Amino acid sequence: MTGQDAPGGSGPAIDIRSVCKSYTRGQQTVPVLQNVSFHIAKGEFVALMGPSGSGKSTLLNLIAGIDRVDSGSIFVSGADITTLSESELARWRSRSVGFIFQFYNLIPVLTALENVELPLLLTPLSARERRKHAEAALALVGLADRMDHKPSELSGGQQQRTAIARAIVTDPDILVADEPTGDLDRVSAGEILDLMAGLSESLNKTIVMVTHDPRAAQRAHLVRSLEKGLLIDAGNGAEGGNGNADAPLHS
């Protein structure tokens, strides 16, 4: 399966073009991503792998619009998000991206239902509609009977399901997940991966997941590997890499 030959079959959902990113530590500039280019089709479930410090989380943050590129462009559903202002980017995130964190990042004082309802405050929905949507999202992840529980009253797997419900409640085009199973036991991790694969297949969501776990990566349609800021592996895709998007990929 290639980036252009995706399950959704309607062109790239995410198009990354010659992206460079570096961080400054004291006097030193550390390159994190070097001229990375590839694209992900709509409905595709992509795993980003690589050792610590390879730049995979940075790339995920750039795709999700929570960090800025030094150079290059990122097109999501045809729009170049690198040209958006901070407030435009915040609006875009609220509509277009669902983020799943490794440590869930749920609000501890709110119930599961309130946590899931939170992103809907940024929509014009009424309180009743917001509640209805949040209940539906929780039901979708199998937590219909845990809506009034606070995160501390839920297991790790249930908390991550709540976080997934929060990520999908606004019906975004893409989901980004930063090591979503990194803090879970094997059974719970399996359940979360089943859920994400299901979202990709049944709801045609484009999913980009950073993971260290090869078992988790196996559940993706496509695996991309990064090392020292370079895209070194196209998985079973045929295009992408560093520099020219049409250049052959490292194997």
Q: Among the candidate windows 42-50, 113-121, 189-197, 202-210, which touches other proteins by CB under 8 A?
A: 113-121
Q: Which of 101, 47, 39, 49 is nearest to 219 (CA)?
A: 47
d(CA 235, CA 153): 39
Q: Is 107 in the site for other proteins (CB under 8 A)?
A: yes
Q: Do the beta carbons of residue 242 and residue 31 sit within 8 Å?
A: no
Q: Among the candidate windows 11-19, 37-45, 61-69, 213-221, which touches other proteins by CB under 8 A?
A: 61-69
Q: Is 99 in the site for other proteins (CB under 8 A)?
A: yes
Q: Is 79 in the site for other proteins (CB under 8 A)?
A: no
Q: Which of 51, 79, 80, 91 binds other proteins (CB under 8 A)?
A: 91
Residue 174 identity? I
d(CA 232, CA 138): 38
Q: Among the candidate windows 1-9, 108-116, 208-216, 241-249, which touches other proteins by CB under 8 A?
A: 108-116
CA angle 15, 175, 186 (to 5 degrees): 125
Number of residues counted as binding other proteins (CB under 8 A):
31
d(CA 38, CA 238): 10
Q: Which of 1, 20, 84, 118 binds other proteins (CB under 8 A)?
A: 118
Q: Is 109 in the site for other proteins (CB under 8 A)?
A: yes
Q: Among the candidate windows 76-84, 121-129, 206-214, 236-244, which touches other proteins by CB under 8 A?
A: 121-129
Which helix (H) or strand (E) covers residue 194, if one does?
helix 186-203
Q: Where does residue 60 fall: left (phi above 0), alpha (psi -120 to 50 degrees), or beta otherwise?
A: alpha
Q: How far is the CB of 48 from other proteins (least distance, A)?
A: 15
**Residues in region 140-179 near other proteins by CB under 8 A:** 166, 178
Query: Tokens representing 59?
Result: 């790339």
Q: How far is the CB of 186 from other proteins (least distance, A)?
A: 21
| 211 Cβ neighbours under 8 A, 6+ residues apart | 47, 48, 49, 179, 180, 181, 182, 217
Q: Is 30 in the site for other proteins (CB under 8 A)?
A: no
Q: Among the candidate windows 77-85, 105-113, 141-149, 214-222, which touches other proteins by CB under 8 A?
A: 105-113
Query: Tokens representing 140?
Result: 């979708």
Residues found near other proteins in the complex (CB under 8 A): 57-58, 61, 64, 66-67, 87, 90-91, 93-95, 99, 101-103, 105, 107-110, 114, 117-119, 121-122, 127, 130, 166, 178
